[in-house]
Chain A
Amino acid sequence: MTILDRLESIVAKAPDQVFCYFVKNGVETPITWKQLWDRAQVYALLYEHQKVRRNSVIVIMLHHSDHLYYSFVGAMMYGAVPSFMPYPTPKQDLGLFWEQHHILFTRIEVGGLLTYREIAGNIGDIGSAAMMLLEDINLAAPVVYERAPAQAADIALLQHSSGTTGVKKGVMLSHGAILAQADAYAPTIALDRSATIASWLPLYHDMGLIACFILPIVIGVPIVHLDPFEWVGAPLALLDKTQEHRATHIWLPNFAFNHLAMNRRGEKKWDLSSLRVVSNCSEPCKIESMDKFSRTFADCSLRPDAAQVCYAMAETVFAASQTSVGRPLKSYTLSRSRLAEQIVAPPESDADRQSVASCGETIPSMRVKVVDNEGSTLSDGLVGEICLTGPSLYSGYYHLPEITAQKFRDGWHHTGDMGFVHDGEIYVTGRKDDLLIVRGRNYYAHDIEASMSATDGVHPGRVVSFAMHNEMIGTAEVICLAELRPGAEEPIVRRELRANVERDVGVVVGKIVFVPSGSLIKTTSGKISRKDNAARYAANLGVRH
């Protein structure tokens, strides 16, 4: 059984029902299941005409467009492996962007790239891969395409992690793993054929891809899909659409709960009674943000327990655990500064308080354990690395056997997330590696630090970056600490450093602090310690806002 077998049976049963209400520029266009299937066949034929190698990776890099769906499903029909990737932001340097992607495209031996003419000019040579431009696609021609045979164990798609240089990892997900996820996760959140999903999430993000595109097409749930860029400027449009379509499910990163609540103005009300679950996922979940959201929209018939937490990652297809729908959320209040050192302790002062939300129990098919640095399993309540196993596990990282061997050991995925298990529920406290999660997207501290070091006026190597939660905006922000060279003018360096990090890494820096020469804490091996400097920053500055 494959994703396409499931989708085909949905298409056969309800060809003219709506698969997606596609929203762009405020205009909604319904797309039926049959249209999805038919147009995907056009893409499958296109890949054949373009002689894309079978089983190779097809990278799809488009803005919000209905072609995202067709080109992705079409790649599976053709027998290639589709992967969405983010489009460069306006401030990113296109030359650098493609240079970095060249490394990646070469390593994964990309078979085809679908994008726009406007950026393709900068791309240079992509080897033997087929370059396909959206402007050339004509969906009108009716096509019947005999799809390539596939098995449950075959790789259905790649979900690429973040990271700027060669470190982008393609998580290989098989048809079997994805269907196992759908079968185990969907019942825990009452996601069935009577549901409707409202989403503004980009499809290159695992939450957008799996929860709001792949699960819907294997279960038969219609989606209402808004443009992520438009959503940022007009977030409440999501509630307009929820009301209009009686949507039952929404997935949001934590900051979006704040953004929605803070954007409410005036007397306008929505009927949100249809919402079964508003799932908080993909960055550290804060009870405060969810409370703020629930209180702000309490007069809109929003169920008080609609906001729920999900712990998810691409390596487990999506959800590993989920809080119980219909039950109040649980959390612990701990010491912020001690947590920065991965120690669970009571807070030392009001400013030191940090709540950690429960991510619930594992979904029925998955199992969890917490291990120490030596790999020994820790008992309840002790902080260590969270490891997961079950039938919806990934098949490894594409063309990266060493990293796969590090992360995937003895049938367990070592998540890199630090946390503990209490009463069977998972609590995530931080990261083992230098991954920073900002507004639901992942960045690496070493990439940010390399960009900081290359800034004129900064003492090279005397820099550190880490993430710290900001209550007001409901997400972590990137904190950069740097030592200045003698004679450097602080305002100029500050501006350049910020611009460099945005250009090189694509993230906006939350706070830049210049510290006295020689004051950054080093480890015994002489390296600048992220953990210790973060703990000192938290202790000294307390909580911003």
Chain B
Amino acid sequence: MAGADDNFARVANVVGRIFGVPPSEITPSTAAADIDGWDSVSHAMLTLELEDEFKIRLDFEQTASFKDVGALAEHIRGKAEEQENVQARAAKRDGKPLMILFGNCQAEVLAGHFKTYPPLGKNFDIRYIPNYFKEGVTNDTMPSPEELASCAFLLEQRTPHVRFPEPERVSNAKVVTYASLDFNILWPLHAQEPRNAPRPDLPHGPNGYGDRIINKIVKEGLSGDAGWKAYVEQSEAALSNLPRLLEIEQQRWALMERDISVGMSDFVFGAFRKKRIYSTYNHPIIGIISEMASRILISAGLDGGATPGDVRALMSALFRSPFGEELQAPVHPRIARELELAWWTPDLTYNWHGHRFTYEQFIRRQIDWTV
């Protein structure tokens, strides 16, 4: 590995070439303000030339904020070392360092697809670790301390309460954090359905996606037409302040995304009116997960030098399953109208375990529990 002096000399050479200054005049304390013509466009050119020289990837915005050439050279040395370390770790584990995906079923979908994606599957031992109690998963799934120490990537889904256990054990890993994709605004009345229980044919029960107004009506002993009528009235009243609910949901996302590497709120809030991108509050369609996958790969530096556009194209080709679409929770017409959901029509039907129901049919079945 090159020494610090040699490293600086290489950086100074590139800076000299771009700005037409003899490299001998460039010292570690030379700042952008000391060199003629160092504006953002020529800085972009410099970044590119430095990438070529050192065979690394640099972040344009990050390199733009260095105080002097010495600090820039130091940053580049760190980047080059980091790259060597990643390669060294890979060599240590039979060429396959560990990549951990920690999170809910959305992270599980990511892990499943990443395993089938050759640039990742061939190079990493990919493990999914759930962040919730999941049937059939015990602590045995947790990698050994030795394995954790050689983990190259921890892709951690952040929820308010659950964090990756013993994060200090993955000290060599690059950690990328991303949001839970749960989206509440289309189903603000969501509640646990108390009557739901596992059945032999349906391990999660016929319908765990309950509704607090339905719970109330059932408690009052209403059913049939009377139940439906009561639901229509009471749910309308409960949804009287949708703009505020939307605001709260936006704030919730903003808070959640405050300290994480990969946010998705811009994408989700930009798209939910145009397309049915969620089947239930916790099941986005596969396209949302594919977009998150692209962002995670870019953020982790696992894009293999491809442009963001190319990464997206690759991911959307890879993520093709009808994830979550076998269960579609119905959207209240008032919500659809007030939030201007372009994909919604009054006679839209919802898929539920292979049957399709209109909104009214769905709610009546749920009230009467003829599911």
The answer on A and B forming one complex is yes
B37 touches A232 (CB 8 A): no
Quick one: which of B33, B41, B291, B307 contacts A232, CB cutoff 8 A? B41
Encoded as 1 (CB less than 8 Å from any B CB) or 0, chain A from 427 to 461 comes to 00000000000010000000000000000000000
A235 touches B36 (CB 8 A): no
Chain B's nearest CB lies how many Å from the CB of A190? 26
Known interface pairs A509-B36, A544-B20; A233-B60 also in contact (CB < 8 Å):
yes
A512 interface contact, C-beta 8 A: yes
Known interface pairs A26-B298, A29-B271, A240-B307; A263-B45 also in contact (CB < 8 Å):
yes
Q: Please report the C-alpha to C-alpha distance between residue A268 and residue B310 in the assembled complex, in whole angstroms.
A: 11
For the residues of A in contact with B, the DSSP-based class is: mixed
B307 touches A237 (CB 8 A): yes
Closest residue to B309 on the A side, CB-wise?
Answer: A240
Within 8 A of A (CB), among B288-318: 291, 298, 305, 307-310
Task: Kindly specify which of A108-116, A493-501, A519-527 makes contact with the partner chain.
Answer: A493-501
Q: Please report the C-alpha to C-alpha distance between residue A263 and residue B61 in the assembled complex, in whole angstroms.
A: 17
A259 interface contact, C-beta 8 A: yes
Encoded as 1 (CB less than 8 Å from any B CB) or 0, chain A from 252 to 264 comes to 0001000100110
B60 partner residues in chain A, CB cutoff 8 A: 232-234
A140 interface contact, C-beta 8 A: yes
Chain B's nearest CB lies how many Å from the CB of A492? 10
B246 touches A29 (CB 8 A): no
A141 interface contact, C-beta 8 A: yes
Encoded as 1 (CB less than 8 Å from any A CB) or 0, chain B from 255 to 275 comes to 000000000001100110010
Q: Please report the C-alpha to C-alpha distance between residue A237 and residue B298 in the assembled complex, in whole angstroms.
A: 15
A511 interface contact, C-beta 8 A: yes
B5 interface contact, C-beta 8 A: no
B20 touches A473 (CB 8 A): no
B149 interface contact, C-beta 8 A: no
Known interface pairs A29-B271, A140-B339, A233-B44; A265-B37 also in contact (CB < 8 Å):
no
A545 interface contact, C-beta 8 A: yes
Closest residue to B51 on the A side, CB-wise?
Answer: A265
B83 interface contact, C-beta 8 A: no
A25 interface contact, C-beta 8 A: yes
Closest residue to A268 on the B side, CB-wise?
Answer: B307
For the residues of B in contact with A, the DSSP-based class is: helix
Looking at chain A, what size class is its interface with the partner chain?
Answer: 35 or more
Quick one: which of A241, A262, A508 contacts B45, CB cutoff 8 A? A262
A473 touches B41 (CB 8 A): yes
Q: Please report the C-alpha to C-alpha distance between residue A236 and residue B247 in the assembled complex, in whole angstroms.
A: 36
Chain A's nearest CB lies how many Å from the CB of B57? 12
B271 partner residues in chain A, CB cutoff 8 A: 29
A259 touches B45 (CB 8 A): yes
A237 partner residues in chain B, CB cutoff 8 A: 307-309
Q: Please report the C-alpha to C-alpha distance between residue A544 and residue B60 in the assembled complex, in whole angstroms.
A: 27
Encoded as 1 (CB less than 8 Å from any B CB) or 0, chain A from 510 to 540 comes to 1110000000000000000000000000000
Q: Please report the C-alpha to C-alpha distance between residue A353 and residue B36 in the assembled complex, in whole angstroms.
A: 24
B247 partner residues in chain A, CB cutoff 8 A: 138
B307 partner residues in chain A, CB cutoff 8 A: 234, 236-237, 240, 268
Within 8 A of B (CB), among A279-311: none
Encoded as 1 (CB less than 8 Å from any B CB) or 0, chain A from 477 to 511 comes to 10000000000000100110011000000001111
Chain B's nearest CB lies how many Å from the CB of A92? 13
Quick one: which of A142, A244, A511 contacts B37, CB cutoff 8 A? A511
Q: Please report the C-alpha to C-alpha distance between residue A98 and residue B95 in the assembled complex, in whole angstroms.
A: 58
Quick one: which of B44, B246, B309, B339 contacts A263, CB cutoff 8 A? B44
A439 touches B243 (CB 8 A): no
Q: Please report the C-alpha to C-alpha distance between residue A509 and residue B39 in the assembled complex, in whole angstroms.
A: 9
B48 interface contact, C-beta 8 A: yes
Looking at chain B, what size class is its interface with the partner chain?
Answer: 35 or more
Known interface pairs A27-B267, A233-B61; A491-B34 also in contact (CB < 8 Å):
yes
B240 interface contact, C-beta 8 A: no
A-B contacts, CB under 8 A, total? 84
A498 touches B44 (CB 8 A): no
B34 touches A26 (CB 8 A): no
Closest residue to A233 on the B side, CB-wise?
Answer: B60
A232 touches B48 (CB 8 A): no
B187 partner residues in chain A, CB cutoff 8 A: none
Quick one: which of A29, A141, A259 contacts B243, CB cutoff 8 A? A141
Chain A's nearest CB lies how many Å from the CB of B258? 16
Q: Please report the C-alpha to C-alpha distance between residue A232 and residue B308 in the assembled complex, in whole angstroms.
A: 15
Closest residue to B38 on the A side, CB-wise?
Answer: A508
B36 touches A27 (CB 8 A): no
Closest residue to A31 on the B side, CB-wise?
Answer: B270
B298 partner residues in chain A, CB cutoff 8 A: 26
B243 touches A235 (CB 8 A): no
Chain B's nearest CB lies how many Å from the CB of A201? 14
B243 touches A138 (CB 8 A): yes
Q: Please report the C-alpha to C-alpha distance between residue A494 and residue B36 in the assembled complex, in whole angstroms.
A: 10
Known interface pairs A255-B41, A259-B45; A511-B36 also in contact (CB < 8 Å):
yes
B36 partner residues in chain A, CB cutoff 8 A: 498, 509-512
A30 interface contact, C-beta 8 A: yes
B192 partner residues in chain A, CB cutoff 8 A: none
A509 partner residues in chain B, CB cutoff 8 A: 36-37
B52 interface contact, C-beta 8 A: yes
B20 touches A545 (CB 8 A): yes
Known interface pairs A27-B267, A255-B41, A259-B44; A142-B33 also in contact (CB < 8 Å):
no
B47 interface contact, C-beta 8 A: yes
A439 touches B309 (CB 8 A): no
B270 touches A29 (CB 8 A): yes
Encoded as 1 (CB less than 8 Å from any B CB) or 0, chain A from 103 to 127 comes to 0000000000000000000000000
Known interface pairs A233-B61, A234-B60, A262-B45; A140-B40 also in contact (CB < 8 Å):
no
Closest residue to A243 on the B side, CB-wise?
Answer: B309
Quick one: which of A30, A439, A495 contacts B34, CB cutoff 8 A? A495
Chain A's nearest CB lies how many Å from the CB of B247? 8
B42 interface contact, C-beta 8 A: yes
A140 partner residues in chain B, CB cutoff 8 A: 243, 246, 339-340
Q: Please report the C-alpha to C-alpha distance between residue A469 and residue B13 in the assembled complex, in whole angstroms.
A: 24
Chain A's nearest CB lies how many Å from the CB of B25? 10
Q: Please report the C-alpha to C-alpha distance between residue A259 and residue B48 in the assembled complex, in whole angstroms.
A: 11
Q: Please report the C-alpha to C-alpha distance between residue A16 and residue B340 in the assembled complex, in whole angstroms.
A: 13
Q: Please report the C-alpha to C-alpha distance between residue A244 and residue B266 in the assembled complex, in whole angstroms.
A: 21
Closest residue to B308 on the A side, CB-wise?
Answer: A26
A235 touches B309 (CB 8 A): no
A265 partner residues in chain B, CB cutoff 8 A: 48, 52
Known interface pairs A244-B309, A263-B45; A232-B40 also in contact (CB < 8 Å):
yes
Chain A's nearest CB lies how many Å from the CB of B274? 7
B44 touches A232 (CB 8 A): yes
Q: Please report the C-alpha to C-alpha distance between residue A414 and residue B178 in the assembled complex, in whole angstroms.
A: 57
Quick one: which of B41, B42, B44, B266 contacts A25, CB cutoff 8 A? B266
Q: Please report the C-alpha to C-alpha distance between residue A491 and residue B29 in the assembled complex, in whole angstroms.
A: 13
Q: Please report the C-alpha to C-alpha distance between residue A494 and residue B37 in the assembled complex, in whole angstroms.
A: 13
Q: Please report the C-alpha to C-alpha distance between residue A142 and residue B338 in the assembled complex, in whole angstroms.
A: 8
Closest residue to B37 on the A side, CB-wise?
Answer: A510
Q: Please report the C-alpha to C-alpha distance between residue A499 and residue B36 in the assembled complex, in whole angstroms.
A: 11
Chain A's nearest CB lies how many Å from the CB of B8? 20
Chain A's nearest CB lies how many Å from the CB of B64? 8
Q: Please report the C-alpha to C-alpha distance between residue A204 and residue B342 in the assembled complex, in whole angstroms.
A: 32
Chain B's nearest CB lies how many Å from the CB of A19? 13
Q: Please report the C-alpha to C-alpha distance between residue A229 and residue B274 in the assembled complex, in whole angstroms.
A: 28
Q: Please report the C-alpha to C-alpha distance between residue A241 and residue B246 in the assembled complex, in whole angstroms.
A: 32
B39 touches A508 (CB 8 A): yes
B37 partner residues in chain A, CB cutoff 8 A: 470, 473, 477, 508-511
Closest residue to A474 on the B side, CB-wise?
Answer: B41
Chain A's nearest CB lies how many Å from the CB of B336? 13
Q: Please report the C-alpha to C-alpha distance between residue A140 and residue B244 in the assembled complex, in whole angstroms.
A: 11
6 A-B pairs with the lowest CB-CB distances in the bound complex, closest first: A233-B60, A508-B39, A26-B308, A240-B309, A29-B270, A510-B37
Given contacts A255-B41, A511-B37, 12 further A-B contacts (CB under 8 A): A16-B342, A24-B266, A26-B308, A27-B267, A27-B291, A138-B247, A232-B60, A240-B309, A473-B41, A477-B37, A510-B36, A512-B36
Q: List 7 interface pairs A-B (beta carbons < 8 Å), by A numbering.
A: A29-B270, A141-B243, A240-B309, A262-B45, A263-B44, A439-B39, A545-B20
